[in-house]
Amino acid sequence: MSSSDGLVIIEPVSEYTRQILKLKKIYAVEKTPYQEIVFAELEGFGKALLIDEFVQSTEKDEFIYHELLVHPAMALHPEPKRVLIIGGGEGASLREVLKHGTVEDAVMVDIDEKVVEFSKRFLEVMHRGSFFDPRARVVIMDGLEYVKKTADGTFDVVVMDLTDPYAGPTALPLYSYEAFREIKRILKPEGVMATQAGSSYFYPKEYRQVKENIEKNFKHVAEYWAWIPSFATNVNFIVASDAYDLYGLSAEMFDTRLKSRNVNTKYLVGRRLTAHLSMGVLYG
C-alpha cells in the first residue's frame, strides 16, 4: 500500500500485531498457481523475497535463520552424507547444507517450480550458486508425497524449511504426527531431523502441537529460538533424533565439527548455540 513515505507493506505478525516495512524498490513480481512471489529491496533489510506479501528472507538477516536451522542438526550428526531439504525455495538452506564437506548428495524438494526458477534468476545473493553445485538435486513435488515415496533409511539428515504451521494449508500436513513418522522412517537409525516451528510466543498452541508430534516419534528432542529482525518475531527451531541429543553437543564439539568440514558461519558458533539452547522456550 502507499503512504506519505512511499510504498509500504503492512504485514501481520500475529492475530493482534502488525509490522510496517518500507519498500525501496521492486525488481520482479510473479504469480504462480500457489502464491505471489516478489523480489524487492526493503529499507533497512536489503534485497528480499516476499511470498503473498510475507517476508521469507532478507539479505540483511537471513543468515541468522538459515544457520540456526541447518548447522545444529548437521553438526549433531558425525558424518552427514545424504541430506533432504523440504521447502527452502530460495536455496539458502541448500547453501548452508552444502558447506559441510561430508555431504555427497543434497536433495531439495519444493512444491512450487516458479519459486525455484525465480530464486535462481534473482536471488543469487541468497543461494550463492548452491543450485548449481554438482551435489545438489532439486525435485519439484509436494514434500510429503516425496517423503512417502522414499525408501526407508535413505537420509542422514532431514531439514524442514517450510512456512509456519499456522500460515496456511500447504505446509500444515508436514507438521503432523503422521508426517514426522514418515520422516523418521526415511532417516537412517542415527539420523537427525530439524525444522522451524513458527513463533512459540505469538502461537503457543500451534507450537506445542508441533513439538508434541515430534516427541511422539523421536527419543531426543531439543528446542531453541531466536529473534529474527525482518520477521519482527521469535522463530523456534526443533532438532530431533533417536541416536543423538543436541543438548549433549558441547560448544567445543560443534566448533570442531564445523571446522573439520570447512564450514564458515557469520552468526552461529558453539557458544551461541549453547546460549540459545539454554534460554528455554519463549511463550506468550
The answer to whether the annotation marks 66 as part of a ligand binding site is yes
* Cβ-contact 237, 197 below 8 angstroms: yes
Phi first, then psi, for residue 173 (nearest 5°) are: -60, -25
The answer to whether the annotation marks 169 as part of a ligand binding site is yes
161 is catalytic: yes
> What is the Cα–Cα distance from 38 to 29, expressed in whole angstroms?
5
Q: Which residues of 108-135 are buried (b: 16+ CB within 10 A; e: fewer)?
A: bbbbbebbbbbbbebbebbbbebbebeb
Which cell numbers hold the place of 21?
516495512
> What is the Cα–Cα distance from 258 to 263, expressed in whole angstroms?
5
First CA to last CA distance, the chain: 30
The answer to whether the annotation marks 124 as part of a ligand binding site is no
Residue ranges of alpha helices (H) inside 160-263 are 177-186, 204-215, 251-260
Which cell numbers hold the place of 45?
533489510
Helix (H, G, I), strand (E, B) or coil at 140: strand
Angstrom CA distances, 119 to 24, 84, 91, stand at 19, 19, 7
Catalytic member of 112, 156, 161, 164: 161
Strand partners, 235: 226
- Binding residues for S-methyl-5'-thioadenosine are 35, 110, 142-143, 169
Name the residues annotated as catalytic: 161
- Binding residues are 35, 66, 90, 110, 142-143, 169
- Binding residues for spermidine are 66, 90
